[in-house]
With several copies, the nearest count.
Chain A
């Protein structure tokens, strides 16, 4: 009877998981997603727990309690820390898969080597390699994103790096193949541990050469690995639900990383093995051209006289936490009957959908957020394009200058607007480490300073100015 109930529960969970992801296709239904997902998870847990083989309930409860204690605070992190958190949870996921795989192997090795069928061994090896490399890899990624002191932000490169990395992986896989053929020899346990070790090391070396700002892409790739390790676990335990949920997770990671690479016009290979961030150091120097600055008052006037304003937020807005001030500015302008739109570039910020979340946090209606193609169409009619801490995503060089690393990346055509106001702190380049000719165009005026402060002043000026007249 119980196995039937369990399977039924797993089918239910499957259906709920699929709907959960399906409902994410529209913000209106999205809230349901979480409900569906959570219910599915609960059902699955309970269905598993009633298994008569389970006797040590204390252990389970303990682990769950600790999980809760750690999990809740992890969900309270500021939105700017979401990428790190995501990376961290991939690390946890990878670890879980790896550990279960390890436990299962040694269990069967001890209690019944005949259970170590070729098929299971393949699954186990896949599970641990993927699991453990995801573990360390994601930890590194989290570290880089959190800008932890002792983890180098810049790509660390050394000769034959890629060869060495791939080499490591190959060795691990070869060992795995051996293990598949001789699962229960005296030396098998050792080999197994060796594979674990190699995977852990590979995870680290795999991330080191990748620049901190490329982490988001890496994260979603690791995301799909975490999913695949879950699939492998499903094969090991002959558990369909694991396979399905893992496959769903895997495809999500895959698709997100593809989207990011497309939007950056870069290949997986370039992200993973290109040591991209380096370019920065190289190009960053040598800026002769002159910036035209503008005062808060002047800028406020320009905005006041405009009919249509397009605000182009970028990573800088996230860093400065300027979304709430931006909201105030938005209110001031709309109050004057000025149409204000936000131009959202797919890779503005440091993770997909980054800007959307921040602006949503500041209660800006998502009907005001416009995607790149749409906004570029009416850019020529735009009176003022206000660039808030965005750089690469508005760099016209992407359109014509083959030499720049961002060549070919679709950009928001701020330069086609009647005039441009750009907010940034310094003359430093953006993520891609290249000059932005937009800042030197005749109809571009700079507002140097921290985005939060500048926008705040603009808003105050307008509210004040508004009364003045």
Chain B
């Protein structure tokens, strides 16, 4: 394990770990999840794997999005690697979506406080991320 972790580099194995974890989870939770989201007509239709609809779509989305990510980023101009860093920063602040819900919904105050802090952090990243990226990109001139 340790060897593997080292040679292949943490960065590269983490995704594998995550996915593996999720999959094991799925097999453990096969039935409960099914119980929660299967629907009469789906279950009645072979080919539309009812019980699975809960989380499988997300895995498909994750896989596809990763393919796109690797494909697109590999082609980013070397010139722009610094702006790229701050741009992806801002984009990953999409966590704001989650924070808003937790902050604004009718939850116990303490929970909403956590959400509020998260929201503040995300907004900070969005604002500073996009602004500084734009600032840098404005500098690049062909001639």
Chain A residues at the B interface, C-beta cutoff of 8 Å: 1, 3-4, 6-8, 10-11, 13-15, 17-18, 20-22, 24-28, 30-31, 33-34, 37-38, 40-41, 44-45, 48-49, 51-57, 59-60, 62-64, 66-68, 70-72, 74-75, 77, 79, 82, 85-86, 89-90, 92-93, 95-97, 99-100, 102-104, 106-107, 110, 112, 114-115, 117-119, 121-123, 126, 130, 166, 180, 219-221, 223-259, 261, 267-269, 272-273, 344, 346, 351-354, 356-357, 360-361, 363, 365-367, 369, 371
Given contacts A223-B85, A248-B91, whether A45 and B100 have CB atoms under 8 Å apart is yes
A sample of 26 inter-chain contacts (CB < 8 A) reads: A3-B51, A6-B52, A11-B60, A18-B67, A25-B76, A45-B97, A57-B104, A82-B136, A89-B125, A93-B122, A99-B115, A107-B111, A115-B44, A115-B45, A117-B32, A118-B25, A118-B29, A221-B11, A229-B95, A238-B45, A240-B60, A248-B69, A248-B72, A253-B88, A256-B73, A351-B82
Interface majority SS (helix, strand, loop, mixed), chain A: helix
Which chain B residues border A11 with CB–CB below 8 Å?
56, 59-60, 63
Q: Are B127 and A233 in contact, with the CB atoms below 8 A?
A: no
Task: Tell me whether B83 and A77 are in contact (CB under 8 A).
Answer: no
CB pair A37–B77 under 8 Å, yes or no, is: no
- For the complex of A and B, the 4 pairs showing the least CB-CB separation, nearest first, are A268-B9, A67-B123, A71-B127, A251-B69
**Which residue in chain A gives the minimum CB-CB distance to B132?**
A75
- A119 to B64 CA separation, bound complex (whole angstroms): 20
Query: Chain B, 79-91, contact with A by CB distance < 8 Å: what is the 0/1 string?
Result: 1111111111111
A41 close to B112 (CB less than 8 A): no
- List residues 42-84 of chain B with CB under 8 A from any CB of chain A: 42, 44-70, 72-84
Indicate whether A230 sits within 8 Å of B94 (C-beta atoms), given known contacts A11-B63, A269-B6: yes
> Which residues of chain B are within 8 angstroms of A26 by Cβ–Cβ distance?
77
By a CB distance below 8 angstroms, the chain A residues around B131 are 71-72, 75
* B135 surroundings in chain A (CB, below 8 A): 75
A259: B residues at CB distance < 8 A: 81
Contacts of A63 in B (CB 8 A): 99, 103, 116-117, 119-120, 123
CB within 8 Å for A100 and B114 given contacts A27-B80, A93-B121: yes
CA distance A254 to B73 in the complex (A): 10
A31 touching B32, Cβ below 8 Å: no
* Complex contact B134–A365 (CB within 8 A): no
Which of B34, B44, B65, B133 is close to A248, meaning CB atoms less than 8 Å apart? B65
B56 to chain A, nearest CB (A): 4
Q: A41-B96, A268-B12 are in contact. Are A18 and B68 (CB under 8 A)?
A: yes
* A119-B120 in contact (CB<8A): no
Chain B, residue nearest A222 (CB): B11
| B95 lies within 8 A of A233 (CB) | yes
Given contacts A247-B62, A269-B6, A99 and B118 within 8 Å (CB-CB): yes
